[in-house]
Amino acid sequence: MSLIIGMAGKGGVGKTTLAGLVTQYLVQTGRTPVLAVDADSNANLADVLGMEYHTTLSEAREEMKSSPGDVSITKDRLIELRTQEAIVEGDHIDLLVMGQPEGSGCYCAANSVLAAVLEKALKNYPYQVIDNEAGMEHISRLTARYMDIFFVVSDASRRGLTAALRIWRLVDELKITVRHKHLILNRVRGEIPPDVMKVIAAEKMDLAGVIPDDQEIYEADQNAKPTSFLKAEGSSAVAAARAVFQKTLG
């Protein structure tokens, strides 16, 4: 059985930073190997993890869709080979970047084959972290329709929470089975506005934790350093994130 952790949130709330931190938390607590899946079309998870990738699954899908076919290799085998090439192997962490959504034309056949191959590949990993975009384009079509833990990340603004609530409800609309769904308020400065807390209570959103805005993370981002390697001892945000993960993952 795999432990599948999903992350989602609108741009700018620090979702990918937290995806990197939860990936490192799994490694630090001996839960390996981990497959980190960057399912955000604005792919940044590799930078957060300090890894590099050279191809994406979307490129494999485009190749399959446009390929006229080759008698020496079936399209199923082609997509399987390209999927293997797209997985970057690291130290306890492997990385898979989904890439851009579909372009024009019909992708039904390509998506069908890719989904089957991807499902087979994911079974090799007991722990998976999927970093989704706000619309969850890839997870709705290609990745697992089941998650053990789903973190919705927001800042403490009313506008940010409105976007988070939309994502919270989208899971049900997409008919994705989720065992546990949690809200994380990230990059928080000062007190959380009372009207924000009222919405959280009214919508019965489970607030797993509040993570403060942190200069250490800002400087790491500015200097292109992997934020997932920051230590809890030197970063209030990392310490708070670790507390959230201990509470929700054990």
On whether the CB atoms of residues 88 and 51 are closer than 8 A, the answer is yes
Q: Is 167 left (phi over 0), alpha (psi -120 to 50) or beta?
A: alpha
Q: Are strands 146-154 and 3-8 parallel, antiparallel or unpaired?
A: parallel
Ordered domains of the chain (ranges, CATH): 3-53+87-98+122-249 (3.40.50.300)
On whether the CB atoms of residues 57 and 65 are closer than 8 A, the answer is no
Q: What is the pLDDT of residue 70?
A: 54
Strands, E assignment, the chain: 3-8, 34-39, 88-89, 93-97, 127-132, 146-154, 177-188, 207-212
Nearest to 40 by CA among 87, 6, 78, 5: 6
- For the chain, the 3-state helix, strand and coil shares in percent, each to the nearest 5, are 45, 20, 35
DSSP assignment, residue 177?
E
Q: What is the pLDDT of residue 107?
A: 46
Reduce the DSSP state of residue 69 to 3 states and report it: coil
On whether the CB atoms of residues 4 and 130 are closer than 8 A, the answer is yes
As given in the structure block, the two tokens for residue 151 are: 């973190």
Q: What is the pLDDT of residue 223?
A: 83
Q: What is the pLDDT of residues 120-164, one digit of tens each?
A: 778 889 999 999 887 776 666 655 578 899 999 999 999 999 999
Q: What is the pLDDT of residue 11?
A: 87
Spans in the chain with pLDDT lower than 70: 1, 65-73, 101-114, 137-144
On whether the CB atoms of residues 237 and 219 are closer than 8 A, the answer is no
Q: What is the pLDDT of residues 233-244, one digit of tens each?
A: 889 999 999 999
Q: How far is 89 from 87, CA to CA, in rounded Å? A: 6
Q: What is the pLDDT of residue 229?
A: 86
pTM confidence score? 0.89
